[in-house]
Chains A and B, each alone.
Chain A
Amino acid sequence: MKTKTLKILSAALIMGLAHVGNASAQCDSIAKICSENVTANYISDGQSYRALLNGDQVAEFRATFYGGSTYRIAGCSGFTDGNLIFEIYDEDHNQLFASSEYKNTPYWDFQFGSTVDCTIEAKLNSANSMSGCATLIIGFKQ
């Protein structure tokens, strides 16, 4: 009985490791493709944003965008455009942007005249996929 339990746990461990490895590799590939949307005139913010999402799960993160800067935000999932929907809200939850209003554009530029504390929400386009790695890349120019 103990041996059987051990075998099951070992198999589960291997599957878990394989899952993590595959997910990382998948995210790395998507991030690489996504970063091509952030052209050379933008400087990377130095961070990598990625999430494994299922169904209608929403990943959110807080970001401060400085006044006087233009940001490019690229959002990707999978290897074709339009698989990720992202929205930006200010601190009072006023919607500043929704990629769904622009055919799920994979990137968009934002000119901030003043510094604004924001929340970015990202979810999968359910018409295209039910699970996958969501990736965001942010670049800026002064």
Chain B
Amino acid sequence: MIKSKYVNKWMGYSGALAFAAIFMVGCVSDVKKDDAGEGVAEVDSSATKLMTIGGNMFSIPSPIQTAMLIEKSGADYNKSFLNDAKKVTTYATNYQKALNLGVYGADVGYVTIYDQSQDAIKYLSVINKLSDELGITGAFDENTIKRFENNFGKRDSMLNLVAVAYRNSDAFLKDNDRMNVGALILAGGWIETLYFSTQIAVKNKNQDVINRIGEQKYTLNNIVKMLTQYYNQPEYDVLVDDLIELAYDFDAIDIQYTYEKSTVDIAKKTTKINSKTVVVITPEHLKAIADKVAKIRNKIVGQQ
């Protein structure tokens, strides 16, 4: 899986690299992967003698995209799907705060898509509080909320403001060697979106939403790989175990992929990807996944 010249040194790992270069050259010739699989630090002694990080860097799809699909499916706004903003004061550890920063991010996307601006402001305030407590600077502040308010009525501008704030937060955490916190934020947002999409799909049986849930098989695998490298840190193990358990249910989903040649419009700098993916998921599997996701999500938000 890890090609020798493919040194995944995405910036988040640069701190480790710099220090490893100084302190570890000559000291480490081999660090084995653990049994959990990929995504674990290892040394590429054949190349630069710097400590390199094995596995891939992962892009987790934006929760906003699935929330948009839900709205397009005709599902009504349902506040009961969201995490109560008042719960923000109950999150004591950085682990809980980071996960719920992701959860609230997905919630603010959902309420914004449904034009519930006042709810969005409420969620932005708790996001501001959590990011502050996590020591994330330069991403969310009062100014973000003001700019959000100034764009009321311009849905995509409001969504982009929030998304850019999350991107700045991600950059800050990677710059400061806190990729574990960034990974939890992404995982929290993904689980929250999967939670409300499964709750909706079980009821309205919209095929587009059901397919989108099936497609999460890819992302779930990526999230497990991303989090597994922190398995030995307190609290992470429970989440990883829960997600691996969920992955067994996703294994029952059949995804058939067929490659087709892409078409290019050079003048428009656009490539149309013509490959096809077909998702096959039974109602029973959907229900099983929905139940398991609800358990994981409720554990995260403290609603057991």
Q: Of B3-11, B87-95, B231-239, B286-294, which stretch is located at the interface?
A: B3-11
Residue of B nearest to A57 (CB): B7
A111 at interface (Cβ–Cβ under 8 A)? yes
Our pick among A42, A43, A92, A117 for the contact of B218 (Cβ within 8 Å) is A117
Min CB gap B255→A, angstroms: 9
Residues of B within 8 A of A17 (CB): 18
B186 at interface (Cβ–Cβ under 8 A)? yes
Q: Do B159 and A113 touch (CB < 8 A)?
A: no
A103 to B68, CA, bound (A): 35
Hey, what's the 0/1 contact readout for B12-24 against A, CB within 8 Å counting as 1?
Answer: 1011011101110
Number of A-B contacts (CB under 8 A): 201
Those of B258-283 within 8 Å (CB) of chain A:
259, 262, 266, 268-277, 279
Known interface pairs A41-B156, A47-B186. Does A60 touch B57 (Cβ–Cβ under 8 Å)? yes
Q: Of B114-122, B142-150, B163-171, B240-248, which stretch is located at the interface?
A: B163-171
Q: How large is the interface on B (under 10, 10 to 19, 20 to 34, 35 or more residues)?
A: 35 or more
Q: Do B171 and A16 touch (CB < 8 A)?
A: no
Our pick among B3, B17, B19, B268 for the contact of A109 (Cβ within 8 Å) is B268
Known interface pairs A43-B163, A96-B273. Does A66 touch B61 (Cβ–Cβ under 8 Å)? yes
Number of contacting residues on A, CB 8 A?
A: 69
Report whether over half of chain B's contact residues are helix, strand or loop; otherwise say mixed: helix
Residues on A lying within 8 angstroms of B by beta carbon are: 12-13, 15-17, 19-20, 23-24, 27-28, 31, 40-54, 56-70, 90-92, 94, 96-97, 102, 105, 107-117, 119-121, 133, 138, 140-142
Q: A49-B59, A56-B5, A108-B270 provided; 15 other pairs, C-beta below 8 A?
A: A16-B18, A23-B18, A43-B159, A43-B160, A44-B166, A47-B186, A48-B11, A48-B171, A57-B9, A59-B9, A59-B10, A61-B59, A108-B271, A114-B277, A117-B218
